[in-house]
């Protein structure tokens, strides 16, 4: 008998088949992890942008000096940017949103949040009764503001809501 040297064709085909199945499973796992990571990244982007916009609006509305116009999707007010206690012309801030999928803007400048699906403002008087006429006919009656903000990136929607009681009103 001669000693066996090398592999038979059948042994080689079995090793190639097992290796191919292993690599296919590994590739499937890789792409599943990649999709999950991408989805989470989009979700974090949407949440971060919505949170930033909400925090900025909350800070500025809490410190406002005077409201000049208030509607469901727009508010214009004065915020003392230079802390001199006087309403200067350049201290007027407007938050404005037009329709689903568009940007929420601050004073017509760069967008505060992208891909906004819903933005609404509700106004309440000193007795927590909602001021239902739009635009609010007497902005000086406003004592509490509720902001509802929904942003959407791909299939991920982030819904935020906050109540603000301006300190200077």
Per-residue pLDDT for 161 more than 90?
yes
Name the band, by pLDDT with cuts 50, 70 and 90, for residue 87.
confident
Q: Which of 102, 122, 124 is nearest to 112 (CA)?
A: 102
Name the band, by pLDDT with cuts 50, 70 and 90, for residue 155.
confident
C-alpha 60: how far from chain center? 18
pLDDT at residue 3, rounded to an integer: 66
Domain boundaries, the chain: 11-164
79 touches 88 (CB < 8 A): no
Per-residue pLDDT for 68 more than 80?
yes
| pLDDT mean over 52-77 | 92
Q: Could you tell me which residue, 25 or 133, shows the higher pLDDT?
A: 25
Joined together, the tokens standing for residue 61 give 């509305």
Per-residue pLDDT for 91 more than 90?
no
113 touches 104 (CB < 8 A): yes
One-character DSSP codes across 34-93: HHHHHHHHHHHHHHHHHHHHHHHHHHHHHTEEEEEEE-SSEEEEEE-TTSSSS--GGGEE
C-alpha 114: how far from chain center? 7
Query: 133 — alpha (psi -120 to 50), left (phi > 0) or beta?
Result: beta
């Amino acid at each position: 008998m001669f000693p066996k040297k090398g592999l038979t064709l059948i042994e080689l085909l079995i090793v190639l088949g097992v290796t191919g199945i292993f690599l296919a499973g590994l590739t499937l796992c890789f792409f599943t992890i990649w999709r999950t990571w991408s989805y989470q990244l989009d979700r974090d982007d949407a949440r971060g942008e919505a949170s930033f916009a909400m925090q900025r609006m909350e800070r500025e509305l809490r410190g406002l000096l005077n409201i000049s116009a208030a509607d469901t999707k727009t508010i214009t007010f004065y915020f003392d940017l230079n802390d001199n206690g006087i309403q200067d012309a350049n201290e007027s801030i407007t938050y404005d949103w037009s329709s689903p999928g568009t940007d929420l803007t601050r004073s017509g400048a760069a967008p505060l949040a992208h891909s906004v699906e819903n933005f609404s403002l509700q106004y309440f008087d000193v007795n927590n009764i909602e001021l239902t006429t739009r635009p609010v006919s007497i902005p000086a009656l406003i004592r509490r503001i509720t902001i509802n903000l929904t942003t959407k990136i791909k299939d991920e929607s982030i819904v935020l809501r906050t109540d603000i009681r301006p300190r200077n009103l």
